Amino acid sequence: DQQVKQNSPSLSVQEGRISILNCDYTNSMFDYFLWYKKYPAEGPTFLISISSIKDKNEDGRFTVFLNKSAKHLSLHIVPSQPGDSAVYFCAASATSGGSNYKLTFGKGTLLTVNP
């Protein structure tokens, strides 16, 4: 049972355009969401996060939007750069009830930004 779903295994965009990566979740206990970026042969690197009390969080070129009613979040990268090419993982945690914030990951989306 995949509680965090990234339905697009891959995405290809042109340099300078917007990249939109999507993520859906099923567990209503999730209240904290993170995006990690992963290059081959490296561990995941934290990118940006959002709490369920917000619907938007922005950090430079990266913006995460959360739609709680739809249990959907998206990561927008604008403008996209070739160095953004990597696998992007959506992750979620349930911070109430002392669950110690273990992360549940989606399967990842491979983003390729073409020069």
Interface with other proteins (CB under 8 A): 4, 32, 34, 36, 41-46, 49, 89, 93, 95, 99-108
H helices of the chain, where? none
CA distances from 48 to 18, 87, 95, 96 (A): 17, 14, 17, 20
The tokens describing 63, both together, are: 């913006």
Beta bridge partners of 20: 76
Residue closer to other proteins, measured from CB, 49 or 79:
49
Choose between 99 and 114: whose C-beta lies nearer to other proteins. 99
Shortest separation between residue 110's beta carbon and other proteins, angstroms? 11
Q: How far is the CB of 42 from other proteins (least distance, A)?
A: 6
> Cβ of residue 65: shortest distance to other proteins, in angstroms?
19
Q: Which is nearer to other proteins, 69 or 100 (CB)?
A: 100
**Cα(30)–Cα(85) distance, rounded to whole angstroms?**
28
In the complex, what is the shortest distance from the CB of residue 111 to other proteins, in angstroms, rounded to a whole number?
16
Task: Give 36 or 66: the residue with its C-beta nearer to other proteins.
Answer: 36
Q: What 3-state DSSP class applies to 84?
A: helix
CB distance 64 to 56 below 8 Å: yes
